[in-house]
């Protein structure tokens, strides 16, 4: 039973990667930009896994963990977007998002601990 589940999961991950690396979604000419587009879709799959954990998680703490990880992944998105365009304000958005995510995670942890915010 366990082996069967592992095999099904392996097949699903294989199909996702096959789809990502077979099709070219946006037509870009340079090979580096095409590789970076694939990188963008791999990060998108990671984000979808986090969304699954937010939906499935049995306790509120699991959802808080997934939200924290999603906040770090957004920084990766901004970095990947910054490479082909060469604009430096994408990473500014990333820094601001990571700061907000860190503070909100601390607030969520304090809420889980059962304390108020003025302690």
Binding site for another protein (CB under 8 A): 2-3, 6, 13, 32, 35-36, 39, 42-43, 45-47, 49-50, 52-53, 59-62, 64-66, 68-69, 72-73, 75-76, 79-80, 82-83, 86, 88, 91-92, 94-95, 98, 102, 105-106, 108-114
Nearer to another protein, 15 or 46 (CB): 46
Helix axes 60-85, 89-113, angle to 10 degrees: 170
CA 117/CA 112 separation, integer angstroms:
11
Selection from 90, 86, 91, 84 nearest residue 33 by Cα:
84
**Per residue, what are the HEC states of 61-99?**
HHHHHHHHHHHHHHHHHHHHHHHHHCCCHHHHHHHHHHH
Nearer to another protein, 28 or 69 (CB): 69
């Amino acid at each position: 039973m366990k082996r069967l589940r592992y095999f099904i999961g392996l097949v699903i991950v294989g199909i996702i990667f096959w789809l990502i690396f077979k099709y070219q979604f946006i037509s870009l000419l340079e090979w580096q930009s095409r590789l970076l587009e694939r990188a963008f879709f791999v990060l998108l799959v990671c984000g979808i896994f986090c969304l699954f954990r937010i939906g499935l998680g049995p306790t509120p703490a699991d959802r808080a963990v997934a939200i924290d990880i999603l906040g770090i992944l957004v920084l990766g998105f901004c970095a990947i977007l910054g490479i082909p365009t060469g604009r430096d304000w994408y990473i500014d958005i990333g820094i601001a998002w990571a700061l907000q995510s860190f503070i909100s995670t601390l607030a969520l942890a304090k809420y889980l601990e059962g304390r108020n915010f003025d302690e």
